[in-house]
Structure 1
Amino acid sequence: MESTKNEVEFELPSYFRAYKDGRVERLFDTDRVPPSTHSDTSVSSKDILISPETTVSARLFKPTTKPQPQKLPLLIYFHGGAFCYGSAFCATYHNHLTSLVAEANVIAVSVEYRLAPEHPVPVAYEDSWAALKWVASHRDGQGPEPWLNDCADLRRVFVAGDSAGGNIAHNMAVQAAVEPEDLAGMKLLGACLINPGFANKQGDFHELWRFVCPTTTGSDDPRINPAVDPRLSRLACSRVLVCVAENDGARDGGLFYYESLGKSGWGGVLEILDSPNEGHVFHLVNPTCENAVILLKKMASFLNQV
């Protein structure tokens, strides 16, 4: 009995471990930092509960350095972590969103979705879509959150995310095309996918996907292989930025996504940023390195295009 208790079902070394008896160990980004007003950037943050029923929540960020002549673009961000670890409330993402909001002068909603395996995919997508609908409820300036009512321009909305979060951002842009009535009054302008998690040209993907999504159909699942999705050409935004890194294991999937979207017939503007000599989500690991600064400035520029 004791031997089976400690038997590992699935593991991402140094990040995540799931045992066959149902226990889960999350080994990375498990810290929680409170919302605050950042002393260097004067970016303020606060936490909100989106859905009491599902516990979906978010951390909001707002620049406070100077009076704003008009409402600001709104970024909806989805953290990475292979669908099974990470948090909008950990120091890594709190610091990243603080820096991005300061650089880009935007409002940001960093979504805290539920994690697999306790909540297998598609729960992460369902929670993320609930967050988009919650944002859209502020379309007339009468929503539950004053920061969005007063400061956010819902005609200039962007989705973004890294790793699994990049995958989520794409899938939200697809769903926005399929169910536009849920987001009526909100205009999705662009999507920024940073080192996104997708199948590669051969349709291969890590066994991780089968672990977090037990109901997947395999390599023909459009959520992980957009090339087989007939809805790809309907992507509900006019600009997409794909960021890849030279030494990233997810690089081939990101390049294949870029290639597939370009061939799909989608009529928007497609950009790519390739960071040399860098690994997966390097900008979170070493946010002050030269390539991370370039990436941050590219994202800021992308969020401010009209």
Structure 2
Amino acid sequence: MASESSEVVKEFRFFRVFKDGRLEFFMPPVEKIPPFDDPNTGVRSKDVVISLDPPVSARIFLPPISDPARKLPLLFYVHGGGFSMLSAFARSYHNFVSTVAAEAGAIAVSVEYGLFPSRPVPACYDDSWAALRWVAGHAGGDGAEPWLNEHADFGRVFIGGDSAGGNIAHTLAARVGSIGLPQGVRAAGVILVHPYFGGTDDDQMWLHMCPTNGGLSDPRLKPAKEDLARLGCEKVLVFVAEKDHLMDVGIGYYEELKKSGWKGSVELVKNVGEEHCFHIHNPMYEKAVELKDKFVSFIKNN
């Protein structure tokens, strides 16, 4: 007979839950790296504290500045990790966002939001929204962060994310559409890379991580038609991967957005033969470079 402490009552993709409430994650904690000035690309990075209670921070990336008078597009990025793992400060995400900043000529803000179990869902959504609002608060040129005051073009703001971060990025765009951002701030586009939405075996894991949920019809799992119709951006780019268990729900999001009455334009890119978020795990792989190049061109051309 298993003791209470060792009896597993629930098991999900990323962790199991024991009868006594303990959790066991299947992946080790992620290693975080400090910000640094990259001598190869010229991208500088630094960390900023957005809020102490709740604790929200971000890493900002500034590409080389050739013309101080020219404002740069701004990428607001939300990392993946199943709402419970990884970090904006992980090497893989640092490198990806830094590379995009360098090649797109964009200033980038990568948010460090609260993770389950220390901060259950919806902390990830609320923290990311607070961070986006903090960034937008620099549109008048008098915010707390000089890099944003001096270099960001708030008429060209892009919201991006992968996996769970893609789900959060959609929710941010929905909030922009319903709540709005300060005057002078325009969300030009949203980029969702292999986003998570409801309709997979992971749904029960999300419901477990979000005690205050609306069940399988929760609009964060299954975006409501009215949220899609008023999405607060002009263009959306959605990536899906053929061997990803999230491919069908990503395609479903694309199809529902087209039918919603939203006035913007949406493009779907299918990464044939590839797994979930392959570009983060192996960034030098030819198809990962193609994905990154498409991501960059979306920012540069809009």
TM range (shorter): over 0.9
Q: Distance in 2 between matches of 1:287 and 1:267?
A: 34
Aligned partner of 1:158 in structure 2 is 158
Q: In structure 1, how many angstroms separate the alpha carbons of the residues matched to 2:160 and 2:185?
A: 16
Three-state SS of the structure 2 residue aligned to 1:42 is coil
Structure 2 equivalent of residue 206 of structure 1: 203
CA-CA distance at 1:43 after TM superposition: 0.9
Cα drift, residue 22 of structure 1: 4.2
Structure 1 length as normaliser, TM-score? 0.92
Q: Which amino acid aligns with 1:223?
A: R
**1:8: Cα distance to partner?**
4.1
CA contact (8 A) 1:29 1:92 kept: no
Q: How far apart, in 1, do the equivalents of 2:279 and 2:183 lie? A: 34
Distance 1:17 1:110, change over 3 A: farther
Query: Which whole-Å deviations, capped at 9, do the CAs of 1:134-183 have from their partners, x for residues lacking one?
Result: 01110111000001001111111010000000000000000011111x43
CA distance in 2, matches of 1:40, 1:166: 29
- The one-letter amino acid of 1:163's match is S
Query: Is residue 80–residue 86 contact of structure 1 (8 Å, CA) maintained in 2?
Result: yes
Structure-2 residue corresponding to 1:219: 216
> Are 2:229 and 1:233 equivalent residues in the alignment?
yes
Contact 1:244 1:274 in 2 (8 A): yes
Contact conserved, 2:241 with 2:247, CA < 8 A, in 1?
yes
Amino acid of the residue matched to residue 210 of structure 1? Answer: L
Question: 1:62 aligns to what?
Answer: 62
Partners of 2:72 and 2:261 in 1: how far apart?
Answer: 31
Equivalent AA in structure 2 for residue 51 of structure 1: S
**1:34-70: per-residue Cα shift (whole Å, max 9, x none)?**
1001122111110000001211000000112644551
Shift of 1:196: 0.2
Matched-pair contact (CA < 8 Å) for 1:16–1:28: no
Pairing 1:81-120 to 2, within 5 Å after superposition = 81-120=81-120
The corresponding residue for 2:36 is 36
Q: Secondary structure of the equivalent of 1:157?
A: strand
> Which amino acid in structure 1 is aligned with residue 124 of structure 2?
A
Q: Which amino acid aligns with 1:300?
A: V
CA distance in 2, matches of 1:152, 1:19: 47
Q: Sequence identity of aligned pairs in percent?
A: 48
SS at match of 2:283: coil
What are the superposed Cα offsets for residues 84-118 of structure 1, whole Å, 9 maximum, x if unpaired? 11100111111111111112110000000001122
Amino acid at match of 2:75: L
1:298 aligns with 2:294: yes
Pair 22,65 (structure 1): closer, same or farther in 2 beyond 3 Å: farther
Change (3 A) 1:210 1:87: same
Q: Deviations over 1:246-304 (max 9, x none)?
A: 10011011000000001101111111111111000000111111111111010101111
SS at 1:273's partner residue?
strand
The whole-number CA distance in structure 1 between the counterparts of 2:183 and 2:3 is: 54
Structure 2: any 5+ residue segments left out of the alignment? Answer: none
For structure 1, the 5+ residue unaligned runs are none
Partner residue, 1:278: 274
How well do the aligned residues superpose, as a CA RMSD in angstroms?
Answer: 2.0
SS class of match (1:231): helix
In 2: Cα distance, 1:98 partner to 1:58 partner: 13
Q: CA deviation at 1:199?
A: 2.0
CA distance in structure 1 between the aligned counterparts of 2:231 and 2:252, rounded to whole angstroms: 16
TM-score (norm 2): 0.93
1:28–1:86 Cα contact (<8 Å) kept: no
What is the DSSP-based 3-state SS (H/G/I as helix, E as strand, rest coil) of the residue aligned with 1:127?
Answer: helix
Preserved contact between residue 136 and residue 184 of structure 1 (Cα < 8 Å): no
Output the CA distance in 2 between the equivalents of 1:19 and 1:128.
30
Residue type at the aligned position of 2:99? S
Q: Using the TM superposition, give the Cα deviation of residue 218 of structure 1 relative to its aligned residue in structure 2, in angstroms.
A: 2.0
Partner of 2:254: 258
Give secondary structure in 1 for the equivalent of 2:237.
strand
